[in-house]
Amino acid sequence: MQRTLARALQHTSKLSAQPKSITFALAPRMTIQPASDERAQELCHNYDAIRDELNQAAQSREEGDKPTLVAVSKLKPSSDILALYDHGVRHFGENYPQELVDKAKELPSDIRFHFIGSLQSNKAKMLASVPNLAVVETLTSTKAATALSKTRQALAPPVSEPLAVYLQINTSGEASKSGLAPLSLSSSTDEADKTGELIDLAKYVLLECPGLRLEGLMTIGSIDASHQAGEEGQENPDFTLLRKTRDDLLLALMRVEGQGAKGLVEGRRKLRLSMGMSDDFVQAVKQGSDNVRVGSRIFGARPPRNP
């Protein structure tokens, strides 16, 4: 049975005491060994090629700003990030909390980190303590939302804006993927319960998490669907479903009282879509993605992660 909004609010009341101020210690930039000239040129060339493909794909769209290109740097050295930073890149994605924290301590503070890995509530506080963590793209629970929001509010010195969060949606229905169920028109009790989880979490972030800003929805689509769509020149069903879920969620939030929800439904700010990776970001952009996550096509193959 889903956790209802009422139960979520009750959970928050038990954690109402504000945490002590949290500071984040930075390491000097000089600790990073620079990438070789050859490696830096390779990274910048790869990034520029992806950016050109993205911009070309975006020309087929009628509305909206250019999508954000997030360079996914997980398991890659800080020297790679620094080479791209010196090339003007600011958005980087990381999958592992400790790796993100370690890199943030030694890299320039105006980098905008996106956390795109599985988010466990017991790691949320550590993540949110990073001042230049700009986005968490994988939020799926009120418990993690509470930890992120409370930690963000306790940072010293305070950050100038709330932490942006995407709610992760499992559009493919694969058991191997995390995420909330997409909105469904099914009237079955089980489907209604799963649908309610997404609506309740969106309400919770809007109404009960002043340290957060509901930015949009994110998905990691099926590899098979991605390849099939690319071969047949059709829309990717995962991206279509995420877009529909976004639109349906906005309709559901029209009944929510509060300034956060009101601002969304009155059109002052839309819910963004984060969809598309190295193999399918072009199709994702054509289908309305506002945020794409590209790793291997920029950085190359990743080394195995140490256990």
- The pLDDT tens digits for 228-276 are 766 667 899 999 999 999 999 988 887 776 666 666 666 556 899 999 9
Torsion angle, CA of 254/255/258/260, rounded to 10 degrees? -30
Does the pLDDT of residue 78 top 60, yes or no?
A: yes
| pTM, entire model | 0.87
Does the pLDDT of residue 192 top 70, yes or no?
A: no
Q: Residue 105: what residue type?
A: K
Mean pLDDT on 164-192: 81
Mean pLDDT on 119-142: 97
Beta carbons of 182 and 132 less than 8 angstroms apart: no
Q: Of 162, 154, 168, which Cα lies nearest the Cα of 133?
A: 162
Beta-bridge partner residues of 155: 22
CA triplet 53, 56, 57: central angle to 5 degrees? 85
Q: How many whole angstroms separate alpha carbon 306 and alpha carbon 303?
A: 9
Q: How many whole angstroms separate alpha carbon 305 and alpha carbon 176?
A: 19
Give all domains of the chain, ordered by start, each with its CATH number: 32-298 (3.20.20.10)
Torsion angle, CA of 179/181/182/187, rounded to 10 degrees? 180
- The confidence score (pLDDT) of residue 6 equals 45
Mean pLDDT on 134-161: 95
pLDDT-based confidence at 222, cuts 50/70/90? confident
- The confidence score (pLDDT) of residue 291 equals 98
Does the pLDDT of residue 194 top 80, yes or no?
A: no
Phi, psi (deg, nearest 5) at residue 101: -60, -45
Q: How many whole angstroms separate alpha carbon 294 and alpha carbon 73?
A: 9
Does the pLDDT of residue 159 top 60, yes or no?
A: yes
- The confidence score (pLDDT) of residue 302 equals 85
- The confidence score (pLDDT) of residue 225 equals 75
For 280-296, the pLDDT digits (tens) are 999 999 999 999 999 99
Q: Of 137, 118, 242, which Cα lies nearest the Cα of 177?
A: 118
Q: How many whole angstroms separate alpha carbon 143 and alpha carbon 121?
A: 6
- The confidence score (pLDDT) of residue 195 equals 65
Average pLDDT, the chain: 86
